[in-house]
Amino acid sequence: MTKDLLTRHSVISIFAGLALLVTVGCSGQTSSERTGEDQGTGNPAEVGEVNLYSSRHYDTDDELYDNFTEKTGIKVNIIEGSADELIERIKTEGANSPADVFITVDAGRLWRAEEAEILQPIASSELESAIPENLRSPDGKWFGLSKRTRIMVYNKEKVKPEELSTYEALAEPEWEGRVCVRSSGNIYNQSLVAAMIEKDGIEETEKWAKGFVDNFARPPEGNDVGQIKAVAAGVCDLALVNHYYVARLQQSDKPETQEMIAKVGVFFPNQEEDGTHINISGGGVVATSPNQESAIKFLEYLATPEAQEVYANANNEIAAVTGVDPNPTVAEFGEFQESEINVAALGKNNPEAVKLMDRAGWK
């Protein structure tokens, strides 16, 4: 879906629309921007805009963008699409691209953007102090803004928590015919395998992948919610999913969803070893950004504790900034140890991960 770069208002009259076009044509600002004093401080507000290309499709993010504009006077214009579409669009637009900030989910996709040379390194003491080193590009080209974990969900009637331990253990013979998972084309699974390559090496990871594939209850199909439903229905005993899908289902007010989700439990793997696999949602400043200063301020705002509470928790993710509590649903999953692998490795090892999964027969 694409939101018009000229306005984020959903309903305007014809006359207001004409006024808006005239205003943009003359000054680059809309009549909705505050061009006087910063409310509540009496200080002059910054005036400008930031053009955001985002593959995050969460309506709750709009609250953040409105808050940013309220605080700074900088208007946020949004273009939405898939990560690959937006990367290609920025490349095609070239030096004339209006894009200032690129935001997407999964470190593997941020790596693709970096490899496509559409992001620039930025120096920001605010971002560097707020975002842990393992959640950002070593070259400062992108920063994690929220975390997601790849967890196990299990059928409570068929699996006891004490039977569970690590991702690696799912390749053992006792799990034969008991595991559901998405296809190898899914970036979340590719990133998990890429992390395992970083930790265990290609040879050991490929050995694991072959054993893991042998234990599939069915050929890979569906999305993460589909895996959870399959576990609840007894199609398989266990599946790998991102944690926030479980949280969303738990928050549903539909009786049938509540009945379904009550049948599954949540387990964080590798707690006695290197920690549960972590991935991110994040963003960076586009190399040809026409509003670089505003773009950096925008990312810095998203890394503030107040913004993190909305950015992460509204989507049942986990804040990238320390000290921000998860929402009550995610908090119920309990505390857990996180992997400290730099998420840049998820992108760096992605090509090898894809080839390895193909060799292992992971469809």
Give dist(CA 65, CA 76) in Å, integer: 6
Q: What is the pLDDT of residue 311?
A: 84
Q: Write out the CATH class of domain 147-277+330-359.
A: alpha beta
The residue assigned the tokens 């070259």 is: 139
Q: Hey, is 95 helix, strand or coil? A: helix
Domain ranges in the chain are 14-146+280-325, 147-277+330-359
Give dist(CA 199, CA 211) in Å, integer: 18
Give dist(CA 172, CA 202) in Å, integer: 18
Q: What is the pLDDT of residue 313?
A: 82
CATH 3.40.190.10 assigned to domain 14-146+280-325? The reply is: yes
186 burial type by CB count under 10 A (0-12 exposed, 13-18 middle, 19+ buried): middle
Evaluate whether 24 touches 30 at the Cβ level (below 8 Å): yes
Give dist(CA 194, CA 356) in Å, integer: 10
Give dist(CA 156, CA 139) in Å, integer: 44
Residue-wise pLDDT tens for the chain (363 aa)? 433 433 333 333 333 333 333 333 333 333 223 223 333 333 333 459 999 999 987 777 888 899 999 999 999 999 999 999 999 999 999 999 999 999 999 999 999 999 999 999 999 999 999 999 999 999 999 999 999 999 999 999 999 999 999 999 999 999 999 999 999 999 999 999 999 999 999 999 999 999 999 999 999 999 999 999 999 999 999 999 999 999 999 999 999 999 999 999 999 999 999 999 999 999 999 999 999 999 999 999 999 999 998 888 888 999 999 989 999 999 999 999 999 999 999 999 999 999 999 999 999
Give dist(CA 213, CA 345) in Å, integer: 23
Evaluate whether 95 touches 288 at the Cβ level (below 8 Å): yes
6 burial type by CB count under 10 A (0-12 exposed, 13-18 middle, 19+ buried): middle
- Report in angstroms the alpha-carbon separations of 158 from 151, 167, 217, 257: 17, 18, 14, 20
Evaluate whether 198 touches 277 at the Cβ level (below 8 Å): no
Measured torsion, CA atoms of residues 53, 58, 63, 68, in degrees rounded to the nearest 10: -30
Evaluate whether 322 touches 132 at the Cβ level (below 8 Å): yes
Q: What is the pLDDT of residue 34?
A: 27
Evaluate whether 110 touches 347 at the Cβ level (below 8 Å): yes
Give dist(CA 129, CA 241) in Å, integer: 30
Tell me the helices (H) and strands (E) count for the chain, helix number first. Answer: 15, 9
